[in-house]
Structure 1
Amino acid sequence: MNIPEWLKPGIYGAVIGAVGLAVVGFSWGGWMTAGEANKLAMTQAHDSAIAALVPVCLDNSRTDIDRIAKLSSIREMSNYKRRDAVIEAGWATIPGTDTPNRDLAQACMDALKIDG
Protein backbone atom coordinates (compact mmCIF):
# COMPACT_ATOMS: atom_id res chain seq x y z
CA MET A 1 0.00 0.00 0.00
CA ASN A 2 1.31 3.38 -0.95
CA ILE A 3 0.61 6.13 1.59
CA PRO A 4 0.90 9.67 0.25
CA GLU A 5 3.83 11.58 1.73
CA TRP A 6 1.62 14.42 2.98
CA LEU A 7 -0.49 11.98 5.09
CA LYS A 8 2.39 10.44 7.08
CA PRO A 9 2.82 13.35 9.56
CA GLY A 10 -0.90 13.23 10.33
CA ILE A 11 -0.81 9.48 10.99
CA TYR A 12 2.27 9.81 13.20
CA GLY A 13 0.65 12.67 15.07
CA ALA A 14 -2.54 10.67 15.63
CA VAL A 15 -0.60 7.65 16.95
CA ILE A 16 1.59 9.75 19.24
CA GLY A 17 -1.48 11.71 20.40
CA ALA A 18 -3.38 8.51 21.19
CA VAL A 19 -0.47 7.12 23.21
CA GLY A 20 -0.07 10.44 25.03
CA LEU A 21 -3.81 10.61 25.75
CA ALA A 22 -3.76 7.06 27.15
CA VAL A 23 -0.78 7.83 29.40
CA VAL A 24 -2.36 11.03 30.71
CA GLY A 25 -5.78 9.41 31.11
CA PHE A 26 -4.57 6.40 33.08
CA SER A 27 -2.08 8.26 35.25
CA TRP A 28 -3.85 11.58 35.97
CA GLY A 29 -7.29 11.35 34.40
CA GLY A 30 -8.73 8.72 36.72
CA TRP A 31 -9.16 6.08 34.05
CA MET A 32 -8.80 2.48 35.20
CA THR A 33 -8.93 -1.01 33.82
CA ALA A 34 -11.83 -3.35 34.50
CA GLY A 35 -9.67 -5.32 36.94
CA GLU A 36 -8.80 -2.22 38.94
CA ALA A 37 -12.45 -1.12 38.98
CA ASN A 38 -13.52 -4.57 40.19
CA LYS A 39 -10.90 -4.52 42.97
CA LEU A 40 -12.03 -1.05 44.05
CA ALA A 41 -15.68 -2.13 44.06
CA MET A 42 -14.89 -5.24 46.13
CA THR A 43 -12.95 -3.17 48.65
CA GLN A 44 -15.78 -0.65 48.97
CA ALA A 45 -18.37 -3.42 49.36
CA HIS A 46 -16.27 -5.11 52.06
CA ASP A 47 -15.80 -1.85 53.95
CA SER A 48 -19.52 -1.08 53.73
CA ALA A 49 -20.43 -4.55 55.00
CA ILE A 50 -18.07 -4.19 57.96
CA ALA A 51 -19.48 -0.74 58.75
CA ALA A 52 -23.00 -2.17 58.64
CA LEU A 53 -22.03 -4.96 61.07
CA VAL A 54 -20.40 -2.73 63.70
CA PRO A 55 -23.74 -2.25 65.52
CA VAL A 56 -23.98 -6.04 65.86
CA CYS A 57 -20.57 -6.12 67.51
CA LEU A 58 -21.50 -3.22 69.79
CA ASP A 59 -24.73 -4.97 70.73
CA ASN A 60 -22.79 -8.17 71.48
CA SER A 61 -20.51 -6.20 73.79
CA ARG A 62 -23.42 -4.37 75.45
CA THR A 63 -25.30 -7.58 76.22
CA ASP A 64 -22.24 -9.43 77.51
CA ILE A 65 -22.54 -10.13 81.22
CA ASP A 66 -18.78 -9.79 81.77
CA ARG A 67 -18.48 -6.63 79.66
CA ILE A 68 -16.68 -4.48 82.24
CA ALA A 69 -14.13 -7.15 83.10
CA LYS A 70 -13.46 -7.95 79.45
CA LEU A 71 -13.08 -4.28 78.50
CA SER A 72 -10.63 -3.60 81.30
CA SER A 73 -8.64 -6.72 80.43
CA ILE A 74 -8.59 -5.74 76.74
CA ARG A 75 -7.39 -2.21 77.57
CA GLU A 76 -4.55 -3.61 79.68
CA MET A 77 -3.26 -5.76 76.81
CA SER A 78 -0.65 -4.61 74.35
CA ASN A 79 -1.97 -3.07 71.13
CA TYR A 80 -1.30 -6.06 68.90
CA LYS A 81 -3.24 -8.45 71.17
CA ARG A 82 -6.37 -6.35 71.59
CA ARG A 83 -8.07 -7.42 68.37
CA ASP A 84 -7.57 -11.09 69.28
CA ALA A 85 -9.06 -10.38 72.70
CA VAL A 86 -12.17 -8.84 71.11
CA ILE A 87 -12.43 -11.95 68.94
CA GLU A 88 -12.04 -14.24 71.95
CA ALA A 89 -14.72 -12.27 73.80
CA GLY A 90 -17.10 -13.34 71.03
CA TRP A 91 -18.11 -9.83 70.08
CA ALA A 92 -16.84 -10.06 66.49
CA THR A 93 -18.83 -13.19 65.66
CA ILE A 94 -21.85 -12.44 63.53
CA PRO A 95 -24.99 -14.28 64.66
CA GLY A 96 -25.53 -17.33 62.49
CA THR A 97 -21.83 -17.86 61.79
CA ASP A 98 -19.23 -19.89 63.63
CA THR A 99 -16.11 -17.88 62.89
CA PRO A 100 -15.30 -14.35 64.01
CA ASN A 101 -14.35 -11.61 61.57
CA ARG A 102 -10.98 -9.90 62.17
CA ASP A 103 -11.93 -6.74 60.30
CA LEU A 104 -15.14 -6.48 62.29
CA ALA A 105 -13.13 -6.88 65.49
CA GLN A 106 -10.90 -3.97 64.47
CA ALA A 107 -13.90 -1.79 63.60
CA CYS A 108 -15.54 -2.75 66.89
CA MET A 109 -12.40 -1.75 68.80
CA ASP A 110 -12.50 1.62 67.06
CA ALA A 111 -16.19 2.08 67.90
CA LEU A 112 -15.62 1.11 71.53
CA LYS A 113 -12.62 3.45 71.62
CA ILE A 114 -10.41 0.63 72.92
CA ASP A 115 -7.48 1.32 70.62
CA GLY A 116 -5.06 3.89 71.92
Structure 2
Amino acid sequence: MSITTRWNDYRPTKGGLVWTAVGASVLTMVVGFTWAGWVTGGSAQAMADQASQDAREQLVASLCVENFIADANAANNLVALKKESAYQQDDFIEDGGWNTVTALDKQVSGASDICADQLIAMESLPARTVTPDSSADEMPATDS
Protein backbone atom coordinates (compact mmCIF):
# COMPACT_ATOMS: atom_id res chain seq x y z
CA MET A 1 0.00 0.00 0.00
CA SER A 2 1.46 3.38 -1.04
CA ILE A 3 1.65 6.42 1.22
CA THR A 4 -0.87 8.36 -0.87
CA THR A 5 -3.37 5.58 -0.57
CA ARG A 6 -2.85 5.44 3.19
CA TRP A 7 -3.21 9.25 3.39
CA ASN A 8 -6.45 9.19 1.43
CA ASP A 9 -7.86 6.35 3.54
CA TYR A 10 -7.00 8.04 6.88
CA ARG A 11 -10.02 9.25 8.86
CA PRO A 12 -9.01 11.23 11.98
CA THR A 13 -11.09 10.96 15.12
CA LYS A 14 -12.53 13.98 16.94
CA GLY A 15 -10.09 13.41 19.79
CA GLY A 16 -7.16 13.34 17.36
CA LEU A 17 -8.27 16.62 15.80
CA VAL A 18 -8.69 18.28 19.21
CA TRP A 19 -5.23 17.18 20.41
CA THR A 20 -3.69 18.31 17.11
CA ALA A 21 -5.26 21.76 17.56
CA VAL A 22 -4.09 21.95 21.19
CA GLY A 23 -0.56 20.90 20.22
CA ALA A 24 -0.42 23.44 17.38
CA SER A 25 -1.61 26.19 19.72
CA VAL A 26 0.99 25.34 22.36
CA LEU A 27 3.74 25.11 19.76
CA THR A 28 2.70 28.49 18.31
CA MET A 29 2.84 30.12 21.76
CA VAL A 30 6.22 28.58 22.59
CA VAL A 31 7.70 29.77 19.31
CA GLY A 32 6.04 33.20 19.68
CA PHE A 33 7.28 33.89 23.21
CA THR A 34 10.77 32.46 22.74
CA TRP A 35 11.78 33.51 19.22
CA ALA A 36 9.15 35.85 17.79
CA GLY A 37 9.46 38.53 20.48
CA TRP A 38 6.01 38.27 21.97
CA VAL A 39 5.70 39.68 25.48
CA THR A 40 2.97 39.85 28.06
CA GLY A 41 1.23 43.11 28.88
CA GLY A 42 3.14 43.38 32.16
CA SER A 43 6.50 42.93 30.43
CA ALA A 44 5.56 45.49 27.79
CA GLN A 45 4.59 48.00 30.49
CA ALA A 46 7.85 47.39 32.37
CA MET A 47 9.85 47.93 29.18
CA ALA A 48 7.93 51.13 28.41
CA ASP A 49 8.50 52.43 31.96
CA GLN A 50 12.23 51.67 31.72
CA ALA A 51 12.49 53.38 28.32
CA SER A 52 10.70 56.43 29.72
CA GLN A 53 13.05 56.61 32.71
CA ASP A 54 16.11 56.20 30.45
CA ALA A 55 14.88 59.01 28.19
CA ARG A 56 14.36 61.33 31.18
CA GLU A 57 17.85 60.53 32.46
CA GLN A 58 19.41 61.20 29.05
CA LEU A 59 17.53 64.48 28.63
CA VAL A 60 18.46 65.82 32.06
CA ALA A 61 22.06 64.63 31.58
CA SER A 62 22.27 66.56 28.30
CA LEU A 63 20.95 69.68 30.01
CA CYS A 64 23.42 69.10 32.83
CA VAL A 65 26.36 68.96 30.42
CA GLU A 66 25.17 72.17 28.75
CA ASN A 67 24.79 73.89 32.14
CA PHE A 68 28.23 72.69 33.22
CA ILE A 69 29.87 73.97 30.03
CA ALA A 70 28.04 77.30 30.26
CA ASP A 71 29.38 77.90 33.77
CA ALA A 72 32.00 80.66 33.90
CA ASN A 73 34.35 78.39 35.87
CA ALA A 74 33.78 75.32 33.67
CA ALA A 75 37.45 74.55 32.97
CA ASN A 76 38.38 74.51 36.66
CA ASN A 77 35.24 72.55 37.50
CA LEU A 78 36.12 69.92 34.88
CA VAL A 79 39.58 69.51 36.40
CA ALA A 80 38.04 69.19 39.86
CA LEU A 81 35.45 66.70 38.60
CA LYS A 82 38.14 64.51 37.05
CA LYS A 83 40.03 64.51 40.38
CA GLU A 84 36.98 63.18 42.26
CA SER A 85 36.66 59.45 42.77
CA ALA A 86 34.17 57.69 40.49
CA TYR A 87 31.53 57.25 43.20
CA GLN A 88 31.72 60.94 44.25
CA GLN A 89 31.48 62.48 40.78
CA ASP A 90 27.68 62.43 40.78
CA ASP A 91 27.70 64.20 44.17
CA PHE A 92 30.01 66.86 42.68
CA ILE A 93 27.51 67.40 39.84
CA GLU A 94 24.56 67.57 42.25
CA ASP A 95 26.37 69.95 44.61
CA GLY A 96 27.15 72.22 41.65
CA GLY A 97 23.47 72.30 40.74
CA TRP A 98 24.12 71.64 37.04
CA ASN A 99 21.60 68.78 36.92
CA THR A 100 18.77 70.84 38.40
CA VAL A 101 15.85 71.48 36.09
CA THR A 102 13.52 74.09 37.51
CA ALA A 103 10.42 72.65 35.82
CA LEU A 104 10.84 69.32 37.64
CA ASP A 105 9.69 68.80 41.22
CA LYS A 106 12.51 66.37 42.02
CA GLN A 107 15.81 65.38 40.50
CA VAL A 108 15.92 62.53 38.00
CA SER A 109 17.91 59.69 39.53
CA GLY A 110 20.77 58.49 37.37
CA ALA A 111 21.12 61.73 35.40
CA SER A 112 24.07 62.92 37.49
CA ASP A 113 25.99 59.73 36.76
CA ILE A 114 25.39 60.03 33.02
CA CYS A 115 26.31 63.73 33.10
CA ALA A 116 29.54 63.02 34.98
CA ASP A 117 30.43 60.19 32.57
CA GLN A 118 29.88 62.46 29.55
CA LEU A 119 31.96 65.24 31.08
CA ILE A 120 34.79 62.89 32.10
CA ALA A 121 34.89 61.54 28.53
CA MET A 122 35.62 65.04 27.19
CA GLU A 123 39.24 65.75 26.35
CA SER A 124 38.56 69.47 26.67
CA LEU A 125 35.58 71.74 26.90
CA PRO A 126 34.03 72.89 23.63
CA ALA A 127 34.40 76.55 22.80
CA ARG A 128 31.57 78.62 24.20
CA THR A 129 29.86 80.90 21.76
CA VAL A 130 27.81 83.71 23.11
CA THR A 131 25.06 84.92 20.83
CA PRO A 132 23.57 88.30 21.59
CA ASP A 133 19.92 88.39 22.50
CA SER A 134 18.06 89.81 19.49
CA SER A 135 15.42 91.40 21.70
CA ALA A 136 18.10 93.57 23.36
CA ASP A 137 18.90 95.21 20.00
CA GLU A 138 15.35 96.41 19.48
CA MET A 139 14.53 99.84 20.75
CA PRO A 140 11.26 100.16 22.61
CA ALA A 141 8.68 102.32 20.91
CA THR A 142 8.26 105.73 22.49
CA ASP A 143 5.40 108.11 22.16
CA SER A 144 6.58 111.54 21.02
* Pairwise same-fold verdict (TM > 0.5): yes
Among 31, 38, 57, the alignment partner of 2:38 is 31
Report which stretch shifted further, 11-20 or 106-115: 106-115
CA separation of 1:14/1:72 partners in 2, compared to 1, >3 Å: closer, same or farther?
A: same
The offset of 1:102, in angstroms, is: 3.3
Look up the match of 1:85: 92
The offset of 1:100, in angstroms, is: 3.4
Look up the match of 1:111: 118
Partners of 1:89 and 1:11 in 2: CA distance? 69
Relative to its length, the structure with more helix (as a share) is: 1
Partners of 2:13 and 2:105 in 1: CA distance? 73
- In structure 2, the gaps of 5 or more residues are 1-11, 123-144
Taking structure 1 as the reference length, the TM-score comes to: 0.78
Taking structure 2 as the reference length, the TM-score comes to: 0.65
CA separation of 1:97/1:6 partners in 2, compared to 1, >3 Å: closer, same or farther?
A: closer
- In structure 1, the gaps of 5 or more residues are none
1:69 aligns with 2:76: yes
Partners of 1:85 and 1:50 in 2: CA distance? 17
The offset of 1:60, in angstroms, is: 1.7
Partners of 1:34 and 1:45 in 2: CA distance? 16
The offset of 1:50, in angstroms, is: 2.5
Count of matched residue positions in the alignment of Structure 1 and Structure 2? 111
The offset of 1:96, in angstroms, is: 3.7
1:40 aligns with 2:47: yes
Partners of 1:102 and 1:70 in 2: CA distance? 22
The sequence identity of aligned pairs, in percent, is 26
Q: CA RMSD in A?
A: 2.3
SS at match of 1:65: coil
1:60 aligns with 2:67: yes
Larger Rg: 2
